[in-house]
Amino acid sequence: MSSATSSATIDRLRQTFAIHGLPHVVVSDKGSSFTSLEFQDFMSQNGIKHVKSSPYHPATNGLAERAVQTVKSGLKKVTGGKLETRLAHFLLAYRTTEHSTTGMPPAAMFMNRHLRTRLDTVYPDVKKKVDEKLRNPAALNLGPRTYREFQTGELVFALNFGIGNTWMPGTVTEKRGPVSYEIELEDREWRRHVDYLRNRYQKKDESSASPSNSDDEFLFPEEGEANDRQDHQHRDDHQDREHFDDDHNHRDRNEHQDRDQQPERSKHPQREGRRPPDYYGFP
């Protein structure tokens, strides 16, 4: 710090407290920046106990003095670069190294997590293993269609969030992430999530020798499947209707023949057992 006034000290403490929270106790010497009324008000307003060391007895603030000694010796061993760069290299190495007493790195004890360093690149990549598992649903027994993706050069429809048609035809040019793709259109490029992409197919009656880029000659998968389902449903309904008419005519002829063969009944015939209902020729 170029200035050691109470205001400058308070500003630096606010930056530290904003990251790590308010401490219970602050230990310092009896410098003028720590004994001023402004600094005392700052401590009391934030509920912090301020402990001041005795004059000419730095052992009272031994933790801070030992930290200063460790930093100075570490900076002498780090060579090359500016002072800020050397300090950053030293702090990263110090905070990720196991302590001889606790057996844990200081950063892991303070933040309850491991800080990643260049040495971690030699360890197995867990994220890559998880991505490979997700790309192979059979290994997780999740069934088919659990991970949808597109290949480079595949024809797709991309959702348009602006003015114009809702779906715009394009081509996949690059995969930017697990579920993010770069789509090339006629006059622009879009980045779209996999949920905003649909496959683009050509009509079945279209000649493969003379492809066209017209939007009218492509169908959504949902539209092609819907047309096929309607054709099959129409044929099934027609066959069922013909089968029903044949059964109905055959049953009418049998009823007329039975009525002609039966003798004339009395005015008050005896009650017979109920005849099972007809099911229109179906069992």
**Cβ partners under 8 Å of residue 91, min gap 6:** none
Q: Where are the domains of the chain?
A: 155-220
User: How far is the C-alpha of 200 from the C-alpha of 223, rounded, in Å?
Assistant: 11
Q: Exposed, middle or buried, 170 (CB in 10 Å: 0-12/13-18/19+)?
A: buried
Cβ count within 10 A of residue 178: 11
Tens of pLDDT along the chain (283 residues) come to 888 899 999 999 999 999 889 999 998 888 899 999 999 999 999 999 999 888 777 777 788 888 899 999 999 988 888 999 999 999 999 999 998 889 999 999 988 988 989 888 888 878 777 777 776 656 555 555 555 788 899 999 999 998 888 999 999 999 888 789 999 998 889 999 999 999 887 665 544 444 444 444 555 555 554 555 555 555 555 555 555 555 555 566 656 555 555 555 555 556 666 666 665 555 5
Element (DSSP H or E) covering residue 183 = strand 180-184
Beta bridge partners of 44: none
DSSP 246-257: HHHHHHHHHHHH
